[in-house]
Structure 1
């Protein structure tokens, strides 16, 4: 059974804070099943935007885990905001979460 978006984001932020990182919900979406977009900032200020993978990537099974892929790497804020605005026109219930964490944790989470 897949957990709600609200619970998943809360758990992810707890793991980020526990590892010494920082995170914040920039935009709160639908608590049940809103799509989650994650902006990961490096300590050098570079940002990468991660988006949920397409349903076709899951195959025939219904996944218990969420799978993300980088859609913008080393992007500036304007490019990230433009992409998120495009996504908001398609899905108004999406979440946007920004984190700054150790790369090992990011790899594990996403």
Structure 2
């Protein structure tokens, strides 16, 4: 059984805070099954946007896991904000979580697929 998005986001926030980072829910989406986008900022000013991985990334043995893919990165936050705005127009029920992971790499907080 897959956990609700609301519970999953709460767990992500706790993991970020436990790792010494900061996190905030920028946009709250559908509590049961909203898609989650994570906007990660480094302390050096770099930004990265992670979104839901394609369905082909999921393993039929573990269908309840949440996987993410890197949608963009660099130092141009405006470009990534524009991408998020397009996603919001396409699906108004998305969640947007902004994190500054601190000493822990984002890949340790999220299951990131690189395929």
Q: If the length of structure 1 is used for normalisation, what is the TM-score?
A: 0.91
Q: Is the 8 A contact 1:50 1:72 kept in 2?
A: yes
Q: Indicate the structure with greater helix content.
A: 1
CA distance 1:108–1:29, change in 2 (3 Å): same
Return the offset for 1:90.
1.2
Counterpart residue number, 1:16? 16
Task: Work out the CA distance in 1 between the residues paired with 2:77 and 2:69.
Answer: 18
Is the aligned partner of 1:73 residue 2:59? no
Counterpart residue number, 1:84? 84
Task: Work out the CA distance in 1 between the residues paired with 2:18 and 2:11.
Answer: 10
SS of aligned partner of 2:66: coil
Q: Is the 8 A contact 1:38 1:51 kept in 2?
A: yes
Task: Work out the CA distance in 2 between the residues paired with 1:2 and 1:103.
Answer: 29
Note the residue ranges of structure 2 that are not aligned, 5 or more in a row.
111-115
Q: If the length of structure 2 is used for normalisation, what is the TM-score?
A: 0.87
Counterpart residue number, 1:63? 63
Counterpart residue number, 2:113? none
Question: How many residues are paired up?
Answer: 110
Task: Work out the CA distance in 2 between the residues paired with 1:91 and 1:75.
Answer: 26
Task: Work out the CA distance in 1 between the residues paired with 2:24 and 2:94.
Answer: 15
After TM superposition, the structure 1 = structure 2 runs for residues 21-32 of structure 1, keeping only pairs within 5 Å, are 21-32=21-32
